[in-house]
Structure 1
Amino acid sequence: MSNVPDFAFGSFDRICSTVALTLCPLVGGVDGIEPVCYSRNVRIADTLLFQPSTVVIHLISLIMTAIMIYHIRSKYTAVGRKEIIMFFYLFMLVTIMELLLISGIIPTSSNVYPYFTGVHMGLVSATYWCLLLNGFIGFQFAEDGTPLSLWSIRISSFIVFAAVTFLSIATFRGILSFDPLKPVALWVVFFIFNGSALLIYIILQIVLVVNTLEDRWPLGDIVFGVIFFATGQVVLYVFSVAICNTAKHYIDGLFVGTISTLLSVMMVYKYWDSITKEDLEFSVGSKLNVWEVKELLSEDDVTGIGAGSGLYVQQQQHQHGHQRGSGSFGYGGSPAMGPYGQANYYE
């Protein structure tokens, strides 16, 4: 840890010396900033694959995200279904982009690497922004599922994506007054803007549960999500070098941070699922009601019905017919059972 520089506002030197983020080869110097310790690579078919353990977690993240999207889409009438699914689509895109960049599939020496990294940074901020806007859905500032609600999230998220992507590429390439040696604006967006969006979302959901819902169990999902995310961030930016040295370069903080991020996203789904109830009246594929007669009517009850309404008796006779003189349907025998469990009586 002695080789790790001190923390400084607006500087990625300390962070990139601890963990290999996608933007680290593009800021802080001509050749970027290399971490003190990072996960070893493997050779597959004459191709070097970096961060192999973290790549496996990213593949698992894609599978889990697809499963969560499927379950969200199946809840046809749940509140905020179309809004929250945008967050998971964005998270899936972030995962794909990060997988391509950290694995070396898109090499850092490639001319397109800065542009892909800029898109990745834009998607990260758009994902945080989309999550923030989803935090207002429960307060019904706009009716969920309406064009106002959906397009306000889509358009604003795209604006955030485009702005942060431009800022990132301009910083990496030194366009206008942006400088890769002093990426202060990008640092502010990456930590302060994204962190503030997440913090506001958490506060909004706590207020929603406490003031609106009778059930307090969703607070547990929020707490676990915060614990998973905070643990991942601490491991990522504080203990990454220690983990890397202890594990002999097989894993580093990026591996643990990716797992923690996946768990926190899963808790976002778990929380949303716990506070939304599907309207069964309009749900697709609901089972038909099965009626069951628990007990037969007594002879006095049925006699009373027959005496009070000759039409009832005539309808029963018309449906089932007379079978006089038989043991089952005779005058003095036991009543016969109808097709739905009711007793048939004939005069």
Structure 2
Amino acid sequence: MSSNATLEFGKYEWICSRGALIVCPLLGATDYGIEPVCYSRNVEFGRTLVFQPATSFLHICALLMVLIMILHVRSKYTAVGRKEILIFFYMYFGEELLAIFLDSSIIPTSSDVYAWFAAIHTGLTCATYWCLLVNGFVGFQVVEDGTPLSLWFLQGSSAVVGLIVGLISIGTFKDAAGLSKATPSGLWVLQFIFNLACVVIYIIAQLVLVLRTLDDRWPVADIIFGTAFWIIGQVLLFAFSNTICDAVSHYLDGTFFHALCTLFAVMMVYKYWDSLTKASHLPRQNEDLEFSVGSKVSAWDVKETLLLREEDESPAGYGGGGGHGAYGQQAYPPQKGGYGQFY
């Protein structure tokens, strides 16, 4: 593949010549797909030839990082959008898990099932972007977060997006249903335009949310850093992948840095969500369940102290200074100054 290919709408030649995407071996006019000009060297483990070893190792690291973030989110019992953001991390986890088998060619590109797994991965990727977009509107409380309506809409719409993209992908790979791998315009729009629109709308929505509802502006920094990481990853993959590959003697290419920057962007999504729950004045966002229980105990202690103080300072004839005890029973023998003065 010549590096002189130009970027055209609906065509993968320029994109796949610079980045070894999962879909590239399944697209193009030839049977072997579109090959990148430069890609990282393969490594043989035993009798298995592993492609993109550094990128595959990074996918494994991403799985571990996502598990840590999931555990932290699950520990915040009362945070707004907790269940919704968990769905996003679960979907990203599944996407990275599939990428390990596809990028490394543990599932060979020559295998008949590769196209099906690539279609599932493409659909899951677009569904993950859509899930992020929907999460961007949870903070506006259009629908109460954590309710069946909110969760079913998020899960149902993400499933619909993933199913549609997956069907279009497999139809394109197999030249079925009027779709063609030689001219994959529909898949190109979904994989790049749709995902880009989800990211842009999410960023705008979060900036509006922070600037209009919060006094704290620190979450804006999380948004900026996350956006920067995502953009840098795209630039390194499509603009400098071949340059990086040649400079490091084929040990790495742009897919490694794209996966790394995407992981950093997802981590900033978690950091932003965490800072938002701390800075927001929305109900249930200022404290976790354990902290809330402690507050209730303290409130009861204060209330009991105030009641005892009122009894001590009550006028003669009532409370501890009169002839009745704390529970309304008469004290014996009668005391002066209380009910005893009438006997």
Normalising by structure 1, report the TM-score.
0.83
Q: 1:207 to 1:46 in 2, by over 3 A?
A: same
Aligned residues: 306
Helix, strand or coil at the partner of 2:44 = strand
1-structure distance, mates of 2:104, 2:49: 8
Decide whether the 8 Å contact of 1:4 with 1:18 is kept in 2.
no
Shift of 1:211: 0.7
Q: Which residue in the other structure is 2:340 paired with?
A: none
More helix by share: 2
Helix, strand or coil at the partner of 1:267 = helix
Shift of 1:284: 3.3
Gaps in structure 2 of 5+ consecutive residues: 279-283, 300-311, 326-343
Over the matched positions of the two proteins, sequence identity in percent amounts to 51
Does the alignment pair 1:46 with 2:47? yes
1-structure distance, mates of 2:288, 2:253: 49
Q: 1:126 to 1:307 in 2, by over 3 A?
A: closer
- CA offsets 1:8-49 (integer angstroms, 9 cap, x no match): 110000111111100000001321011110011111111011
Does the alignment pair 1:187 with 2:188? yes
**Which of 285, 290, 299 is equivalent to 1:284?**
290
1-structure distance, mates of 2:286, 2:111: 53
Q: Which residue in the other structure is 1:251 paired with?
A: 252
CA RMSD in angstroms, aligned pairs only: 2.5
Q: 1:284 to 1:240 in 2, by over 3 A?
A: same
Shift of 1:280: 6.8
Shift of 1:307: 11
- CA offsets 1:245-286 (integer angstroms, 9 cap, x no match): 000000000011110000000000000000114557760376
Gaps in structure 1 of 5+ consecutive residues: 292-303, 316-347
Q: 1:266 to 1:282 in 2, by over 3 A?
A: closer
Structure label with greater radius of gyration: 1
Q: Which residue in the other structure is 1:331 paired with?
A: none
Normalising by structure 2, report the TM-score.
0.83
Does the alignment pair 1:23 with 2:36? no
What is the letter of the counterpart of residue 283 of structure 1?
Answer: L
What is the letter of the counterpart of residue 24 of structure 2?
Answer: C
What is the letter of the counterpart of residue 113 of structure 1?
Answer: Y
What is the letter of the counterpart of residue 25 of structure 1?
Answer: P
What is the letter of the counterpart of residue 103 of structure 1?
Answer: S
- CA offsets 1:168-214 (integer angstroms, 9 cap, x no match): 00000000210000000000000111110111000000000111111
Q: Which residue in the other structure is 1:6 paired with?
A: 6
Q: Which residue in the other structure is 1:328 paired with?
A: none
What is the letter of the counterpart of residue 162 of structure 2?
Answer: F
1-structure distance, mates of 2:130, 2:315: 72
2-structure distance, mates of 1:159, 1:305: 68
Equivalent residue runs for 1:319-334 within 5 Å:
none
1-structure distance, mates of 2:40, 2:98: 19
What is the letter of the counterpart of residue 237 of structure 2?
Answer: L
Decide whether the 8 Å contact of 1:235 with 1:256 is kept in 2.
yes
Decide whether the 8 Å contact of 2:233 with 2:261 is kept in 1.
yes
Shift of 1:4: 3.9
